[in-house]
Amino acid sequence: MQYVCLIYVPPDLQDMPERDSEVTAKFVAFTKDVIERGVRVASGRLADTSVATTVRLRGGQRLLSDGPFAEAKEVLAGFYLLDCEDLDEAVDYAARIPSAAYGAVEVRPVVER
């Protein structure tokens, strides 16, 4: 079963991996581990929400707005798509994502078929 681990952090901590080499090293190690175990399907770090563009289609018209779709206390900063046996395994990996220590990781199963 595929699970996406959505990485949420406070907006001012989005650049932690750039600011803090220890955090970077931990992310690199974690990613390497999930690849080696054959669990990782995809993963990525997102650019700062300040450069986001939000798109809506209304009456056939494209409406673009500058910035994230909603102001939030915690913003989506990255994700891991993992192939796990069950929720317990997914939660175990989620808890090991370095940003779990300063943000939150939402674990969501990907609907099959």
Partner 1 sequence: MRHTAPLRYARLSNAEVAIDRLFRQNAGRVVATIAKAFGDIQIGEDAVQEAYIRLLKLSESAGLPENPQAWVMRAARNCAIDRLRRSLTQSEIAERVARLELAIPDRDAGDSRFPDDRLELIFACCHPALTLESRVALTLRSVCGLTTRQIASAFFVPETTMTRRLARAKRKLREAGGSFALPPAGRLAERLDSVLGAIYLIFNEGYKASGGAQLTNVELCEEAIWLAGLLHQLLPREAEALGLYCLLLFSHSRHATRVAPSGAVQPLEFQDRSRWDMTAINTAAGLLVKHGPLRPTPYVIEAEIAAHHATAERYEDTDWTRIAALYEMLAILNKSPAVELNRAIAVGMAFGYERGLAALDSLSSAPVLRDHYLLHAGRADFLRRLGRSYEATVAYSRALSDVPTLPERIYLEERLRELDPDRE
Give the nearest distance from C-beta 107 to partner 1 in angstroms.
8
Give the nearest distance from C-beta 111 to partner 1 in angstroms.
8
Pick 41 or 107: Cβ nearer partner 1: 107
Closest by Cα among 43, 40, 45, 46 to 89: 40
Q: Tokens 């943000």, residue?
A: 103
Closest by Cα among 93, 72, 80, 94 to 41: 80
Pick 8 or 46: Cβ nearer partner 1: 8
Give the nearest distance from C-beta 65 to partner 1 in angstroms.
32
What residues line the site for partner 1 (CB under 8 A)? 1, 3, 84-88, 90-92, 107, 109, 111
Give the side-chain half-sphere CA count within 13 A for 8.
9
